Amino acid sequence: MATLYIDNKPYEFEEGRNLLHTCLGLGFDIPHFCWHPALDSVGACRQCAVKLFKDENDCTGTIVMSCMTAARDNMRISIDDKEAHEFRAEVIGFLMANHPHDCPVCDEGGECHLQDMTVLTGHTYREHRFKKRTHRNQDLGPFVHHEMNRCIACYRCVRFYRDYAGGKDLEVFGWHDSVYFGRHESGVLASEFAGNLVEVCPTGVFTDKTFRKHFTRKWDLCSAPSVCVHCSLGCNTIAGQRSGVLRRILNRFSEDVNGYFLCDRGRFGYEFVNGSRRVRTPLAKKGRNQKLEPLDRSAAIKRVAELFSSGRPVIGIGSGRASLESNFALRQLVGPQRFFVAESETQHSITTEIVHALRRTPASRASLRDVAKAGAVLVLGEDVTNTAPLLALAVRQACRTAALTNAHGLGIDPWNDAAIRETGHNVRSSLVVATPTLTKLDDVATTVYHAPPDDISRLGFAIAHALDGSAPAPRGLSPEIEAMARGIARDLAQAARPAVVSGAGSGSASVVEAAAGVAAALYKVNHDACLCMSLSECNSFGCTLLGGRDLTAALDAAERDNAEAVVVLEADLYRNCDPAIAGALLTLPRNVVVIDHTLTATAAMADLVLPAATFAEASGTFVNNEGRFQRFFSAIAPQAGFAPGYRWIAEILSVVGPEAPRWETLDDIVNDMESRVADCAGIRAAAPSASFREGSQKIARQSFRASGRTALLANTSVAESPNPADPDSALAFSPEGIQAPREQPLVARYWAPGINSVQAVSKYHGDPPAALVKGEAGADAAENHGAKAPAAFASHASEWLVMPLHHIFGSEELSMLSPSVASLARSALIVLNPEDAAKLSIRENDAVEVSNYALSCACVAAIASWVTKGSAALSVGRPETQGLDLPEWLWIRKAGAP
């Protein structure tokens, strides 16, 4: 620990950061704009001036920019110094000269960094006599609203968008006081991380366009810590609602997982919660072919409970998008033998393979932070930008590690962003992108290899063999690929903390085996190696821990045991397996009960639909791709019609079996699960229990400035009702309680006295708890080598190997119910090799029919040379391509052709 003297008082701090970051961490307020904890310093805005003194006898001092000065031991500075204060006030005066006086209609108002900093420096009146400079806005797509007049030219947006996220279409134009931040012309921002501009921008230039449609000030939002449901990474978020309408999603800082950023699917996919297809009351059919009609809650529970008294078994189908608690409750209701997971046979084998690989690997399991710090990255088979977007952002950061090491050698501080980028122009860490489809990471990759999944897998095996001679070598490898594998192996072996990234996206188990094999072989030569794999859904990992089998096995069990009923938990079976299997599962049993929040195709087939709560209305736990237990809390108070899945099941259980455990609260289920499922040990550590208090108080979901309490519901009844109780968490539906909790899992908003914007995050230090799924005891590293390399890809005469093509907007189920995300989704696309396209006389944008024996789907053609001849890539997750289990050999023909 070193000592820093601030205004003649000593403070302990850790060296390695700049003065600004250190002072903010110590609780001081220094006005700043261009510095951001993730983007570091460039010294552009000249706002963070402080006085630096040579020693205790120096009374004059010099003004320095605190963001560009390293904090060193025995340094003496003054923040309150008169000259420094005047300097800062003057800078704000300049920045405000052209500010457009529109806070009342600005969405940033009330959580604006510029407002906070202006108040902090004491600037009140515009002293500039001349007219204000104005700009025209651009339409930047459905996510981000642009209002250029509010700009103070801090350059944070382009630094994030271009330097950090690798975007290319946001630029700075013009010069002197007329610089303009935007695209070369109006159009949708191409980066998947554009939504972060909303949080990165210290003013209201970039605001959330979806939030604008149901705008509420920050102080009126009732917020809760949440976890993103749109991919398996489990990014930490803050969900904010008012009047039962989910208004927006913000990032919740988590050092290990998402850091300061979210992807656009996670940020804007939330609107399904307010969607028109939500089920809000129990629905039942009188007969199989009748319509679903509303039903009383107690009658619905009685009807489900009766199914259990028939003597015939009931089958339960859990899913990766339901919480661990709901899945566990279903497993307890139907029994572990009759618990299945809504995944096809192939999907399930891949998910299980990934979970086993992660738990058995001798290398460490990588968090996103580990990936971002990796010295070399091998991406094997996964288009991370589209399946787990924030993982792509982490990989992009990993490309900079060589530049950081280089800068360190030159004596440049790690926070000195501009200098590091200047010296690191030609220094790039090794990044290998070996995937079946083109990825957005190709532009920063040192090696790019696109081939069908089996060939990707063979490359993986070759790398593993090059690293460890005892690993099996693929046969008949071309010399170029062999040389490539040796080169990659060398880079990985020599790198500090190399990471292997793969996932379920390629639809190939052998790719996953290969990645696990590379990680195991790499560990033998480099003990810092780590492995990161993405899964298909937000709780796929957790669902696998509960040990259910796949849908084909479920159908077998239903047929064999003459099942009375099937209970489907938060899953649309038609999305996850062959429609024939889904159809049989939903017609064979006498009764179909669906517990879901949305009226999916599966729910429409049900005899009884119990409305489930979404992540915004329920508390629960997800296990992310790393095996990290993460708790999400309800932002919306429980409502009469619907309830979390586990609550429905608990109520059914209390009727069915009086000997069943009585689950009153979420903690009861969590404790029960921890005692019954060995793999779920550690779930309790995910977040403090409901009995947790900080200084005898609960954590407030509402800010202390929350307004309209006596008027919001006065139109229905002028008598005020008490705040809803929350027995499931240590958070209260009230403005009373702790506003800024110390525990990271309970942070419901970022706020500090005087700092109303999200920049208050700099004042929080709570790290997330290390609640990880334990590795499998006695696991042997050599076990990974049991796998064999597949044969090389060979084209067929009349069929094409159709590989999955993922789209960040379009392939995921829930985000597609959000109008803003759906507006960016294209119709199903098939990408063909130019030669194949010529053979089939298909041209770009032609209508194409892709079929197998049972199914035929219509899609639009695209032609690209990265597709290997004899293969093709087809959009997954689109309604047109449902039921296909890609990669699959399929017939392709031009629509209308014989």
List contacts with other proteins (CB under 8 A).
99-105, 109-110, 131-137, 147, 149-150, 173-174, 178, 180, 182, 212, 214-217, 219-220, 243, 705-712, 714-715, 717-718
122 or 708: whose CB is closer to other proteins? 708
8 or 243: whose CB is closer to other proteins? 243
Q: Are 820 and 891 in contact (CB under 8 A)?
A: no
**Collapsing DSSP states into helix, strand and coil, what is residue 337?**
helix
The DSSP bridge partners found for residue 871 are 801
Conformational region of residue 619, where left means phi above 0, alpha means psi within -120 to 50, and beta covers everything else: beta
Distance in Å, CB of 710 to other proteins, minimum: 4
C-alpha–C-alpha distance, residues 123 and 109, integer Å: 17
| 249: enclosing H helix or E strand | strand 245-251
182 or 259: whose CB is closer to other proteins? 182
148 or 758: whose CB is closer to other proteins? 148
Distance in Å, CB of 750 to other proteins, minimum: 19
Distance in Å, CB of 736 to other proteins, minimum: 13
216 or 630: whose CB is closer to other proteins? 216
C-alpha–C-alpha distance, residues 882 and 869, integer Å: 25
211 or 261: whose CB is closer to other proteins? 211
Distance in Å, CB of 132 to other proteins, minimum: 5
Cα distances (angstroms) measured from residue 4 to each of 62, 78, 83, 105: 16, 11, 20, 42
**What one-character-per-residue DSSP string does 396-420 give?**
HHHTTHHHHHHHHHTT--TTBHHHH
718 or 797: whose CB is closer to other proteins? 718
**Collapsing DSSP states into helix, strand and coil, what is residue 39?**
coil
Distance in Å, CB of 243 to other proteins, minimum: 8
Q: Are 535 and 503 in contact (CB under 8 A)?
A: yes
Cα distances (angstroms) measured from residue 717 to each of 329, 711, 723, 725, 742: 37, 9, 15, 20, 38
C-alpha–C-alpha distance, residues 696 and 327, integer Å: 33
Distance in Å, CB of 222 to other proteins, minimum: 14
Peptide bond preceding 313 in cis form (omega within 30 of 0) = no
* Number of residues that make up the chain: 898
Distance in Å, CB of 709 to other proteins, minimum: 4
154 or 861: whose CB is closer to other proteins? 154
Distance in Å, CB of 471 to other proteins, minimum: 57
The three-state DSSP-derived secondary structure of 613-625 is CCCCCCCEEEECC
Burial degree of 409 (CB within 10 A; 0-12, 13-18, 19+): exposed
130 or 853: whose CB is closer to other proteins? 130
Q: Which amino acid is at 126?
A: R
Distance in Å, CB of 718 to other proteins, minimum: 5
201 or 233: whose CB is closer to other proteins? 201
Distance in Å, CB of 216 to other proteins, minimum: 8
C-alpha–C-alpha distance, residues 513 and 519, integer Å: 10
Q: Are 416 and 40 in contact (CB under 8 A)?
A: yes
155 or 261: whose CB is closer to other proteins? 155
**What one-character-per-residue DSSP string does 560-627 give?**
HTT-SEEEEES--HHHHS-HHHHHHHHHSSSEEEEEESB--HHHHH-SEEEEBP-TTT--EEEE-TT-
- Vertex 276 angle, CA 274 and 280, to 5°: 75
Distance in Å, CB of 157 to other proteins, minimum: 15
182 or 453: whose CB is closer to other proteins? 182
**What one-character-per-residue DSSP string does 495-540 give?**
SSS-EEEEEGGG--HHHHHHHHHHHHHHHHH-TT-EEEEE-SSTTH
* Residue 595 phi, psi dihedral angles, 5° rounding: -105, 105
164 or 206: whose CB is closer to other proteins? 206
Distance in Å, CB of 274 to other proteins, minimum: 14
Burial degree of 696 (CB within 10 A; 0-12, 13-18, 19+): exposed
215 or 692: whose CB is closer to other proteins? 215
125 or 853: whose CB is closer to other proteins? 125
Distance in Å, CB of 375 to other proteins, minimum: 41
Distance in Å, CB of 449 to other proteins, minimum: 41
Tell me 395's DSSP state: H
410 or 714: whose CB is closer to other proteins? 714
Distance in Å, CB of 33 to other proteins, minimum: 19
Distance in Å, CB of 499 to other proteins, minimum: 41
C-alpha–C-alpha distance, residues 778 and 83, integer Å: 65
The three-state DSSP-derived secondary structure of 693-734 is CECCECEECECCCCCCCCCCCCCCCCCCCCCCCCCCCCEECC
The DSSP bridge partners found for residue 630 are 622
Q: Which residues contact 746 (CB under 8 A, 6 or more apart)?
A: 225, 633, 687, 688, 692, 699, 730, 731
